[in-house]
Amino acid sequence: MGKIAESTVRRLSVYLRLLEEFAAQGKGTVSSHELAGQGHTTPAQVRKDLSFFGSFGKRGLGYPVPELIAQLRDILGLDRPYRVAVIGAGKIGRALVGYQGFVSRGFHIVLLYDNDLDKVGVSWDGLQVRDERDIEADLAREPVDIAIVATPACAAQALVDRIVTTGIKAILNFAPVEVSHPDGVVVKNVNMALELETLSYALRNR
């Protein structure tokens, strides 16, 4: 299959959410127009996005909701559970552990770390905080698919360097710093201050 744009993948995730709402309402089929929502994208964009992966609709009718949900889950790789480790038991780590939106998508946080020994051993939502020094040993025994880095910026690069040695292939980085990493490891950044800064820019020019 050809290379798919990141923007397309993000929209597929959005379509999946919308489709689940339509399914909950008992809708059997939806049109590209309905999936485009209230101006967030266009019907043509929806059809193009889906067409990269196959022909899921029926002309004159639209797309069958349950089948398209199954297809999108398959395309996005959500047809299986993921084991996730959260590194950093500060406020962000606290918010991530027990966040409903993860479990319902098959992302299970199974390990939680901090370097503060006062936190080690404490349980949050049934998950015990572990000693950050044990990361390599733990991940060797019970590998995870994804690591979420939720530490201060100054600690992030060293931790990324350590966890990539364990063979991890995907990292979600909440630390407000660009981390370098080997090819073959996918890193996505979530930077809340940066989002506010784009809002600031948007406000400035209006």
Partner DNA sequence: GGATGTGAATGTCTTCACAGCT
Partner DNA sequence: AGCTGTGAAGACATTCACATCC
Q: Is 60 in the site for DNA (CB under 7 A)?
A: yes
Under a CB-based contact definition with an 8 Å cutoff, are residues 31 and 43 in contact?
yes
| Residue 5 Cβ vs DNA, minimum distance, rounded to whole Å | 3
Counted residue by residue, the chain has a size of: 206
Q: Is 64 in the site for a second copy (CB under 8 A)?
A: no
Q: Is 44 in the site for DNA (CB under 7 A)?
A: yes
Q: Is 56 in the site for DNA (CB under 7 A)?
A: yes
Nearest to 136 by CA among 115, 100, 163, 170: 163
**Residue entry with tokens 């370097």:** 115
Total residues in contact with DNA, by rule CB under 7 A:
27
137's enclosing H/E stretch is helix 135-141
Q: What are phi and psi of 198, to 5 degrees?
A: -70, -35
| Residue 33 Cβ vs a second copy, minimum distance, rounded to whole Å | 15
Judged by beta carbon distances under 5 to 8 A according to partner kind, the member of DNA, a second copy, none in contact with residue 50 is DNA
- The Cα 48–Cα 46 span in angstroms is 5
Under a CB-based contact definition with an 8 Å cutoff, are residues 117 and 131 in contact?
yes
Judged by beta carbon distances under 5 to 8 A according to partner kind, the member of a second copy, DNA, none in contact with residue 137 is none
Q: Is 48 in the site for DNA (CB under 7 A)?
A: yes
Torsion of CA 83, 89, 94, 97, to 10 degrees: 10
Q: Is 58 in the site for DNA (CB under 7 A)?
A: yes
**Residue entry with tokens 């993860």:** 102
Residues that bind a second copy (CB under 8 A): 1, 6, 9-10, 12-14, 16-18, 37-40, 75-78, 82, 84, 91-92, 94-96, 98-99, 101-102, 105, 107, 145-146, 169-170, 172, 176-178, 180, 184, 186, 188, 190-206
Site for DNA, rule CB under 7 A: 3, 5-8, 30-33, 41-45, 47-48, 50-51, 55-63
